Amino acid sequence: MLKKSFFTLINVFFILIFLSLKQIMAAEVPLPITPTSIACGDLNQDGYQDLAVGIRGDILIYWGNYNGNLSSYKLVAFPGTPTKIIIADINGDNKNDLVISDSENGGIKILVNQGSGDFLIHEERNSPSANDFALGYFNDDSFIDIAVANTSGGVSVLYGNGIWDLKKSTWFTPATYPIPAAGAATAIATADFNQDGRADFAVTAGDMLYILEGQEDGSFGVTTQVQTGSSPVAIGIADFNHDRILDIVVANKSSNSIGLYYGRLEGGKYDLSSPVFYQVGYSPSALSIADFNGDNYLDVAVTCEGDNTLYFLLDTGLGNFSKSIPVTTGIQPVQVIATDLNHNGKMEIITLNKISNSFTLLYDQEINAQLSFRLPSLDIKVSNNGGNPSDGPITVTTEVNNNIQIWASLDANDCHGISADVYLLLNASVDDKGKISHKTYSITSEGLTEGEAPLVTNWTGLTNIPLTCIWTMSVQDLVRTIGAGYYNITAKLVIHSPNGLTYYVSDTADFAITGRVLSNPPTIDVKVQKVIESGKTKIKTFVSVNANKAQDLPAFAYIWIECYGSYTYTTDDNTTEVDHCAYIEQYTPEGWQVLEDKCYTQDEWEDRQSPHIDPCTEWPVTDLDNCPLFDLPVSEFPSGYSCTFNVGLIIQNEGGFDYSVFDSAPF
Amino acid sequence: MRKREIIVPVILSLFLTFACYSYAQPISDTTGKIGIGLRVNGMTTTSDTYKGRDIDKKDQAMFGVSLSYGVNSWLSLEAAFDGSLNTKLKDNTLGIDLATINVYPLTFSAQLRYITKNPEFYNWIVPYLTFGFGYYFVSGDVSSEYKAEYYPNDVKLDFDGGWGGHVGIGTDIFASKTIAVGFEARYFWASGSIKETITNPILNASTTHKENFDLDSWMLGINIKFFFK
C-alpha cells in the first residue's frame, strides 16, 4: 500500500514536471506543407491570440487559449498563395478579418470573419500585387486603407470606400505614388514620422529607404531617402533612443545586417541619420519589434533564413543595440512574429520555417533563458581631488591643485576570460572663442590622443575588477589640452567572443570644468639667508616673481611663517610620550600676527586644524628680482623648531575663480 | 411580397372559376380521360447570393412530360416531370462561372378548368388555373474556372434539391377530342442547397461550406396533350 502511494506520488511528480516543461520549452510545431506566411490575432473574439498560417491554397487557423496553448488547425480555403497576412477588423463589425496578399494570382484578398470560425472571401479586383503591405487610415475618412509595396514599383494606396458588401468586387479606390528607385518596392511600414497627425510611409526599394510623407490632400510624396544595405526586405519602426522621434530598422538580406536609422525632426521636417549597421546571421529575412527581455526598452528580433537562426538586438537604453547569441530555429525561417500568447505580459516569439515545414514557438521563459547570457557590467565614475566617485555630473574649477580622477569597476559576468579592447574616451564640448567645439580624445598609454584609440588592445582575460582609480589628470592640464567645458568620459569594452561575435559594453560619467587657466602662469621663488649683524642672528628673506602672462593681474599676496617642533618626555608611569608644537604667524597690514603657538599631545596633534591664512595685501602681479622682504631676528622664533618662510599669490580671474602659486624656503 | 402578388390573383381566379363553371362541351370535356403531354418551357430564373457574392442563373429551356386525369369537367389532376438544360450559375462578383446545374421538377398539380356553356363563345378553348407542389431535384458540376480559383485544392460542389410549390395559368386549345395544344405560365418557388467541399490533396483535409439558394423561376411554355378514354 505504501509502495503504491509512493509510486503514485512519483508519477504525479513526473507528470507535473512534464507539464511544466511543455510550457517553457521551445516547440517546433510541424506543418503538413510548406508555409508561406503567419500572423496572430484574436479571430474568435475570445480574448486570446490565435494563429493564422498561410500555405498555398489554404489558411490554417490555430485557436489559442488562456494558457497560450494552440489547438489543432482548422482549414480555411484560400484561392492562391498567401505571402503576408495581417489580422485586423476591416469592415468594422468587431470581428477580426484576415487581409492577405496573394503572390500566385496577385492582389489583395480579404477573408471576412463571419464568426464561429467561418470566413467568406472578398477578392479586391484590380488591387496591385504586393511584396508587402500595411494597414492604416491614410486619408480623412474613417475607413481603413491599405498601403502596398508594389511588385511593379512604387507604393499603391487602396483607400477604403466604407462599403464592405461581399457582392461588390471593389471595396477600395486605388492610387499609386512613385518612388525614385526602379524595380519593386520590397517592404513598407507606416507611422506618423513628422508628427503632423497624418500617416507617412517608410518604403524600401533598390537598396534605398524612402520616407513618403502624407500630404493634406491625402496623397503621398517622397521627402527623404537614405541608402540601406544590400537587398532590404523588412522594416521596423520604434523610438529606440527615447527622443520621442521615431527611428527605423531595416533588415538587409544580402549584406547580413540590420541598419538602424535614428529619426531627426527639425521644423516639422523628418530626416534620418546615417545608419548604424549591426551584423547578424546569414540572410536576415524578417524582423519583429517588442520588449523581449522585460527592461521596458523595445528590442528587435531578427530571423536569418540562411543559417536558421534568430537574433535579438537588445536596446541598451542608450539607443544602441546589444546583440544576443543566436537562437536556433527550424530550417529557413522566413517570418517572425511576437505576441503574448499566454497572457503574462511577456512576449512569445514565433518563427515560420519554410523548409522544415514548421513554426518554432518560443515562450517567454525560453526567450529569457536564451537572453540570460550576461555581458560584462562596466561602471565608470569620476571624482575631484580624491572625493567620492560618482556618475556625475560634477563641477570642477581650474584651481591649480585640482585633479580629476577616473574610476572604473568591471563585473565580467558571463564573459570571464574573453578578450576585449578597452577604450577610455573623453568627449568634450568646450568653449572655443565663443563657439562650442565638440572634441573626442582617447586616453591611451601615450597620454591624451585626439580621436578614438584604444587604451588596451586585445586585453586577454576579462575578469572582475573592483572600483579602481584608473586615471588622474590635473584640471589645468586638461583645460590646457582640451579646454574648459562639459566632459563625458566613456569607457567602452569591445568584446571578441569565441563564436566570432563582437559585443559592445560601455558606461559613462559626466563632469564639467569651469574657469580659466593662465597659459603661462607666474612663478615665485623664495630665498632665505641667515646673517649675523651686530652679534644677532637674523633671517633675511627675498622673493623673486616672474609675472609671465599674469602681469598686472590683481592678486592676493600671502606671507606667513610656519615652525614645527616636537619633544619627547617620560610620564610618571614610565611611558614615553611625544608632544608636537606649532608656531605660525602671518604678515598683515598691521604687521606680524601670531596665529598659533601651542603644543599638542599626539592625539590632539592628529585632530589639529591648520589656522586660516589671510592675505596681507592685494597686489598687481609684476616682476620682482630677489626683492628683500623682511629681516627677522631668530630669537623671535621658538628654538629647536624647523621653520619655513612662505609666500603665495592667488590671482583673481574675471570669472571669479582662483589661480594659486606658492613657494617656501626653510630656515 | 412577390409570392403574395402571385397568390392573390390566383385565388381570385379560382373564385371566379368556381362561380362560373358550366357544363362542358364534348370536344373539350376531359372528364374521365387520361392525357399525356409533352412540353417545352422557357425558364426565367431569379438571382441570389452565394457566400455573400452575387449569383446569376442563366435562363434556360426545360423539357417535360405530363400525365393528367380529368376528374370532372372543371378539375383535372396532373403529374409532370421536367428537366432543364444546363444552367450556368455565374458569380457576378468574381466574374467567373461557379457551376452548371440541371433542375428536375417532379410536380403534382390540380387544374381548375373553365369551359363556357355559352355557344356564342369558343368552347374548344379551355382556360385554367393550376397550382400544386413538387420536389425539385438539382444536379450540377463545379466549373473549371471555380476549380482553378482554388487550385491546388480540389473543389467539389454537391447540389441538393428541395420541396417547392407553384401556381400558374394556362389555356388548352382542343383540335379534337384527343389532341390539345396548351400554353402555360407558372411560377415556382423552391430552395436548393450547395455544399462546397474544398480539399487540400496534400493535407487530405477539407473545409466545407453549405448554403441554401433559391430556385425560384418563371416558366413560360407550350405543350401538346393526347387524351385517351
Read off the pLDDT of residues A397-441 as tens digits, 9 standing for 90 and up: 877 778 999 999 998 776 767 778 999 999 998 877 767 888 899
- pLDDT band of residue B1 (cuts 50, 70, 90) is very low
CB A396, CB A409: distance < 8 Å: no
pLDDT for B2 equals 45
Residues A300 and B228: their CA atoms lie apart, in Å, by 90
Mutate to test the interface with A, among B92, B207, B208, B209 (most CBs of A within 10 A): B207
Average pLDDT over chain A, rounded to an integer = 87
* Between residues B157 and A502, the one the model is more confident about: B157
- Residues from chain A that touch B150, judged by Cβ atoms under 8 A, are 57, 77, 79
Per-residue pLDDT of A514-558, as tens digits, reads 876 666 778 999 999 988 888 888 889 999 999 887 788 888 899
Domain that holds residue B202: 28-228
- pLDDT band of residue B110 (cuts 50, 70, 90) is very high
Please tell me the distance in Å from A137's CA to the nearest CA on chain B. Answer: 26
Whether residue B11 lies inside any domain: the answer is no
- pLDDT band of residue B24 (cuts 50, 70, 90) is very low
pLDDT for A343 equals 86
Distance, first Cα to last Cα, chain A: 102
A77 vs B53, B95, B207: nearest CB? B207
Contact A75 B151 (CB under 8 A): no
pLDDT for B6 equals 53
- Residues from chain A that touch B205, judged by Cβ atoms under 8 A, are 32, 75
Contact B53 A166 (CB under 8 A): yes
CATH number at B190 reads: 2.40.160.20
Contact A33 B202 (CB under 8 A): yes
Chain A residues with CB within 8 Å of chain B CB? 32-33, 55-58, 74-77, 79, 112, 118, 120-121, 123, 125, 165-169
Contact A33 B200 (CB under 8 A): yes
Contact B153 A77 (CB under 8 A): yes
Report the sign of the C-alpha dihedral through residues B30, B36, B39, B43, in that order. Answer: positive
For chain B, what is the domain count?
Answer: 1
Contact B200 A58 (CB under 8 A): yes
Residues A113 and A120: their CA atoms lie apart, in Å, by 7
Query: What average pLDDT does the segment B116-126 reach?
Result: 78
Whether residue B77 lies inside any domain: the answer is yes
The DSSP H or E segment spanning B16 is helix B2-20
Does the structure show a pLDDT above 50 at B15?
Answer: no
pLDDT for B23 equals 45
- pLDDT band of residue A637 (cuts 50, 70, 90) is confident
Whether residue B23 lies inside any domain: the answer is no
Residue B31 DSSP label: B
Q: How many other β-carbons are positioned within 10 Å of the β-carbon of residue A72? A: 7
Name the H helices within A358-464.
364-370
Does the structure show a pLDDT above 50 at A22?
Answer: no
Residues A628 and A541: their CA atoms lie apart, in Å, by 6
pLDDT for A423 equals 92
CB A88, CB A41: distance < 8 Å: yes
Whether residue B4 lies inside any domain: the answer is no
Per-residue pLDDT of B87-104, as tens digits, reads 999 999 988 999 999 999
Does the structure show a pLDDT above 90 at B29?
Answer: no
Note whether B96 contacts A: Cβ–Cβ < 8 A: no
Residues A299 and B81: their CA atoms lie apart, in Å, by 73
Write down how long chain A is.
Answer: 667
CB A185, CB A156: distance < 8 Å: no
Strand partners, A173: A159
Query: What average pLDDT does the segment A584-599 reach?
Result: 91
Whether residue B10 lies inside any domain: the answer is no
∠A487-A490-A495 over CA atoms, to 5°?
170
In A, minimum Cα distance to B150 occurs at A79
Size of interface A-B (CB pairs under 8 A): 55
Does the structure show a pLDDT above 90 at A58?
Answer: yes
- Return the minimum-mean-pLDDT range out of A28-42, A57-71, A468-482, B14-28: B14-28
pLDDT for A2 equals 42
Mutate to test the interface with A, among B50, B93, B155 (most CBs of A within 10 A): B93
* Between residues A323 and A644, the one the model is more confident about: A644
Note whether B117 contacts A: Cβ–Cβ < 8 A: no
Cell of A365: 521563459
Query: What average pLDDT does the segment B154-172 reach?
Result: 95
Please tell me the distance in Å from A80's CA to the nearest CA on chain B. Answer: 7
Average pLDDT over chain B, rounded to an integer = 86
The percent of residues in chain A predicted with pLDDT above 90, rounded, is 53
- Residues from chain A that touch B142, judged by Cβ atoms under 8 A, are none
Query: What average pLDDT does the segment A592-612 reach?
Result: 90
Contact A32 B202 (CB under 8 A): yes
CB A191, CB A203: distance < 8 Å: no
Residues A186 and A183: their CA atoms lie apart, in Å, by 9
* Residue B158: partners with Cβ closer than 8 Å, 6 or more residues away: B194, B195, B197
Residues A346 and A339: their CA atoms lie apart, in Å, by 8
- Residues from chain B that touch A168, judged by Cβ atoms under 8 A, are 93
B153 vs A58, A112, A169: nearest CB? A58
Contact A166 B51 (CB under 8 A): yes
- pLDDT band of residue A300 (cuts 50, 70, 90) is very high
Strand partners, B228: B34
Does the structure show a pLDDT above 80 at A24?
Answer: no
Contact A120 B203 (CB under 8 A): no
Whether residue B110 lies inside any domain: the answer is yes
Per-residue pLDDT of A345-354, as tens digits, reads 889 999 999 9
Mutate to test the interface with A, among B202, B204, B206, B211 (most CBs of A within 10 A): B202
Whether residue B186 lies inside any domain: the answer is yes
The amino acid at A101: S
A77 vs B53, B92, B150: nearest CB? B150
Contact A169 B152 (CB under 8 A): no
Whether residue B3 lies inside any domain: the answer is no
* Between residues A499 and B212, the one the model is more confident about: B212
Per-residue pLDDT of A128-181, as tens digits, reads 999 999 999 999 898 999 999 999 999 999 999 999 999 999 999 999 999 998
- pLDDT band of residue B56 (cuts 50, 70, 90) is confident
In A, minimum Cα distance to B149 occurs at A79
Please tell me the distance in Å from A120's CA to the nearest CA on chain B. Answer: 6
Mutate to test the interface with B, among A55, A59, A75, A113 (most CBs of B within 10 A): A75
Per-residue pLDDT of B79-89, as tens digits, reads 999 999 999 99
